[in-house]
Chain A
Amino acid sequence: MLELIVQYPLLSALLALVSLGAVFGAVLGFAAVRFKTEGNPIADQVNELLPQTQCGQCGFPGCRPYAEAIANGEAINKCPPGGEAGIQALADLLDLEVIPLDEEHGEEKVKAVAFIREDECIGCTKCIQACPVDAILGAAKQMHTVIASECTGCDLCLEPCPVDCIDMIPQQETLQSWHWPLPDPASREPQIIATDNDQSQDRAA
């Protein structure tokens, strides 16, 4: 055997390569089994970026399924609650083009919270079953009410209500939620001749 190898140097090279291949193949194969990734990591990352309203406007039953669909190549512009900022974040993550929001799935709206007009509620529990985040409290033939802090504003409770007693109240700006706006881009327009500006004329006078 040894003699044969010595006689044909080509054989030794071949043998070495084959054994190297076998060893690395075995190591890789073992690693693939041993360090197998559970679930879909890209879907997890996408899910992190979705607004978790669970509204189903994208056509998927919740944010997680849509995240999985995006990971498998679905368009990233089907999430109205996420809005432009959401699309931007998804595009950054997946290294895709930023595309405008698909109007078919709805428009970006001000965040709202469901409110049940309590004297009109008949206690049918239909909204409770529809709420994806268990944000409605109540029991059969008892008045229901929305836990405002848990409501994602998904609108899913509106449709099943037989007496139409649910309103979506747009969230009002409070001192806590208010913040400085970015300076008006219009005022950033370079104005070569400052005296053309009304204000500066006033000042000069």
Chain B
Amino acid sequence: MRKIFDFHGGIHPPENKLQSLALPIRDAGIPPELVLPLSQHIGAPARPVVTVGERVLKGQMIAEPLGFVSVPVHAPTSGTITAIEERLIAHPSGLSAMCIVIATDGEDEWVTVPPTADYREMPPEHILEHIRDAGIAGMGGAGFPAAVKLATRPGSEVTTLIINGTECEPYITADDILMRERPERIIAGIKILQHLLKPGATLIGVEDNKPEAIAALVAAAQGSSIEIVPFPTKYPSGGEKQLIEILTGKQVPSGGLPLDVGVICHNTGSVVAIHDALCKGRPLISRITTVTGDALRDPGNFEVLLGTPMSYLLVQAGYQADKNHRLVMGGPMMGFTVPDANVPIVKTSNCLLAPTDTELPPPPPAQACIRCGMCEQACPASLLPQQMFWFAQGKEFEKLEQHNLFDCIECGACSWVCPSNIPLVQYYRASKAEILQLRQEHERAEQSRIRFEARQERIERQEAEKVAKRAARKKAAEERAKAAAAGGSGDVDPIQAAIDRAKTKKAAQQAGADTGVSEQEKLEKTVITTRRRLETATAKLTQAQADGSDLVAALQTGVDKTRQKLEAAEKALQALSGSGTPSSGEDPSADPAAAAIARARAARAADAGLSPEEKAREKLKGLEQRLEKTRARLAESRSIGEDQKIVDALASTVIRLEEKVTETREQLDTKAGA
């Protein structure tokens, strides 16, 4: 006999299990409509791979997993997809979620199942892939993808594989009846896990209030290394960490996983699903659900297709609607009220409870905490519930975390024992979620901060680049000015540059005209083309005149212009051939440029000759002239009564000029004074 350990705390609520054990497992049949939520597990929701109107067969994958911690969804029977839409689901929030709706055809036609290979010859990765592809999520209640749980990290050794047949919560008997009726499938499933994990020991933990189940399992496990361990009934010994402590005496460290103490724990329902997936090629499309409560005439366990509306199931169990005011999914301790009787059964629905008001009365009003300490006595995780209650009320999240709030398994034992009827577990649920949310928000804030800082940096960099460019341009300009000033006394740099430019241009032109013939040829060509154009234009003109078109005038001007061009070209040609050879070197066309250069030089020379004072005086004179002119213009426009805008503009110009004049005069005065 194996040594059994005990865990701290725990309670003994009324079990209420016998009601649903009177009848064997019944088949719930095929409802007219199945609603399959895309997220029936913990992790990312699956993505639909079917379209509305498509016919699907039983066992066909209708939604694929999205990410590592995710599982697919399969069609529980054959039928047609009628919608992929938001539907109410069994969730305490009462919110809707994306669901695939199948109108069943009653034929229950299977998709062709590929022949299953012997798992003993498969590599572990293939077995895990099979389990994942079969859509198996933990069926105990949390719905953690089974394949993820089984994918042990390399280097970690599994000393003990524990199969959880505890089912400690009142009312629920789904695992009990499964162990009674299908022990051989459980054992076969465990053998697959043994093959996969190679554990040192394999234990099935069962509470001693299920003697039939224990007997059936012992009989089925004969000759295997599987050990069935009965232990005293106490709630919540079915909690993973509690069960591990009962069977091995080891405590899973705070915030750790069972694997940290070399244990992997699986539910009996999941084990059967794994067996079905690997030995029969049957994905997870149905489960055993306990339907119980005093508001039912024939409570019992049903083999239910996933997606079956709860109302359909209730009718089969003899539902008396007048006796029942709320429906609970899960047990009375950890379950939650479902928003509507039409929400579907999902992979995690182990129990559907339809209690009467006397059976499960509404919670009495909470009273003040009297610090009796009973919650601390009951807590299976050895926490300090009353202390955490105060912190939760004051939203002191840091202190809650210091008091290991995250080790709370939300079993509800504290609320059950509380003499003041304080819904303690609700405080912890809410606080946990809020802390997680705050963490998420903080992460997002970090992300925003990084993006904001990156943007700031970018803007600064661009600004700096702009400034640098501007500075470089300014420097270059200054240098040019300096160079000009340095060469200002002797030769005039900009003018010289202009001359150089003109010269190079000329040279380039002459390179073409070097032979002398080209210029003439060009002109000849121009004459010919212009003449041709003139001819066509004249022809068009006569045509238009004959037709009496509107375009006559336009065409006439066109003809005139072309004629003028032709004459000019002919003249040029004559001149060119008259002069004999085309002029080289000093071309007459260079004359204006030379003149301009000369003018500029003269101006500069004149400028250079003047003293600054004289320059200023010149400027003043110019300004005064402009001022007078503008004044005259202003007076004129006023007298004519021109547009107000023009008058205003002129007036402002006058003012500006006056200012400039006074300024220049002042400068002149100061200079003279100096």
Which of chain B's residues have a CB closer than 8 A to the CB of A183?
366, 423, 426-427, 430
Are B368 and A179 touching (Cβ within 8 A)?
Answer: no
Q: Does B93 make an interface contact (CB < 8 A)?
A: yes
Q: Does B514 make an interface contact (CB < 8 A)?
A: no
Closest Cβ neighbor of A82 among chain B residues: B445
Are B448 and A152 touching (Cβ within 8 A)?
Answer: yes
Are B365 and A182 touching (Cβ within 8 A)?
Answer: no
Q: Does A35 make an interface contact (CB < 8 A)?
A: no
Are B455 and A132 touching (Cβ within 8 A)?
Answer: yes
Are B423 and A150 touching (Cβ within 8 A)?
Answer: no
User: Of the 9-residue stretches A16-24, A99-107, A186-194, which lies at the interface with chain B?
Assistant: A186-194
Which of chain B's residues have a CB closer than 8 A to the CB of A188?
366, 368, 422
Among A53, A85, A182, which residue has its beta carbon within 8 angstroms of that of B427? A182
Q: Mark B354-370, 1 if CB is under 8 A from A, else 0.
A: 00011001101111100
Which of chain A's residues have a CB closer than 8 A to the CB of B366?
183, 187-188
Closest Cβ neighbor of A84 among chain B residues: B395
Are A173 and B441 touching (Cβ within 8 A)?
Answer: no
Which of chain B's residues have a CB closer than 8 A to the CB of A63?
449, 452
Are B92 and A180 touching (Cβ within 8 A)?
Answer: yes
Are A180 and B429 touching (Cβ within 8 A)?
Answer: yes
Are A134 and B449 touching (Cβ within 8 A)?
Answer: no
Which of chain A's residues have a CB closer than 8 A to the CB of B12?
none
Given A134-B455, A183-B427, is A189 in contact with B447 using a C-beta cutoff of 8 Å? no
Among B97, B364, B436, which residue has its beta carbon within 8 angstroms of that of A194? B364
Among B39, B97, B361, B430, which residue has its beta carbon within 8 angstroms of that of A181? B430
Are B445 and A51 touching (Cβ within 8 A)?
Answer: yes
Minimum CB–CB distance for A160 against chain B, Å: 16
Are B434 and A175 touching (Cβ within 8 A)?
Answer: no
Are B39 and A175 touching (Cβ within 8 A)?
Answer: yes
- Determine the distance from Cα of A50 to Cα of B357 in the docked complex, in whole angstroms: 48
Closest Cβ neighbor of A132 among chain B residues: B452
Given A191-B365, A203-B361, is A53 in contact with B95 using a C-beta cutoff of 8 Å? no
Are B449 and A52 touching (Cβ within 8 A)?
Answer: yes
Which of chain B's residues have a CB closer than 8 A to the CB of A88?
395
Q: Tell me the total A-B contact number using a CB cutoff of 8 A.
A: 96
Are B451 and A133 touching (Cβ within 8 A)?
Answer: yes
Among B362, B455, B456, which residue has its beta carbon within 8 angstroms of that of A199? B362
Minimum CB–CB distance for B424 against chain A, Å: 9
Q: Mark A77-114, 1 if CB is under 8 A from B, else 0.
A: 00000000100100000000000000000000000000
Q: Does A37 make an interface contact (CB < 8 A)?
A: no
- Determine the distance from Cα of A111 to Cα of B350 in the docked complex, in whole angstroms: 37
- Determine the distance from Cα of A62 to Cα of B456 in the docked complex, in whole angstroms: 10
Are A180 and B430 touching (Cβ within 8 A)?
Answer: yes
Which of chain A's residues have a CB closer than 8 A to the CB of B423?
183
Are A180 and B455 touching (Cβ within 8 A)?
Answer: no
Q: Does B471 make an interface contact (CB < 8 A)?
A: no
- Determine the distance from Cα of A197 to Cα of B95 in the docked complex, in whole angstroms: 30
Minimum CB–CB distance for B276 against chain A, Å: 28
Are B357 and A174 touching (Cβ within 8 A)?
Answer: no
Among A54, A190, A203, which residue has its beta carbon within 8 angstroms of that of B357? A203
Are A133 and B361 touching (Cβ within 8 A)?
Answer: no
Minimum CB–CB distance for B141 against chain A, Å: 16
- Determine the distance from Cα of A199 to Cα of B444 in the docked complex, in whole angstroms: 44
Are A134 and B451 touching (Cβ within 8 A)?
Answer: yes
- Determine the distance from Cα of A50 to Cα of B444 in the docked complex, in whole angstroms: 12
Are A54 and B448 touching (Cβ within 8 A)?
Answer: yes
Closest Cβ neighbor of B437 among chain A residues: A179
Closest Cβ neighbor of A92 among chain B residues: B398
Q: Does B674 make an interface contact (CB < 8 A)?
A: no
Are A47 and B449 touching (Cβ within 8 A)?
Answer: yes
- Chain A residues close to B by CB (< 8 Å): 47, 50-54, 62-64, 85, 88, 132-135, 150, 152, 173-175, 177-183, 187-191, 194, 197, 199-200, 202-203
- Chain B residues close to A by CB (< 8 Å): 39, 91-93, 95, 97, 357-358, 361-362, 364-368, 392-393, 395, 422-423, 426-427, 429-434, 436-437, 441, 444-449, 451-456
Q: What are 27 A-B contacts with C-beta separation under 8 Å?
A: A50-B445, A51-B441, A51-B445, A52-B444, A52-B452, A62-B452, A62-B456, A64-B449, A64-B452, A132-B455, A133-B451, A133-B452, A175-B91, A175-B97, A178-B95, A179-B433, A179-B436, A179-B437, A180-B430, A182-B426, A182-B431, A188-B422, A191-B365, A194-B364, A200-B365, A202-B357, A203-B357
Q: A88-B395, A177-B437, A179-B430 are in contact. List 15 more A-B contacts (CB 8 A).
A: A51-B441, A51-B445, A52-B445, A52-B449, A52-B452, A62-B456, A64-B452, A132-B452, A152-B448, A175-B97, A182-B427, A183-B430, A190-B367, A197-B365, A203-B362
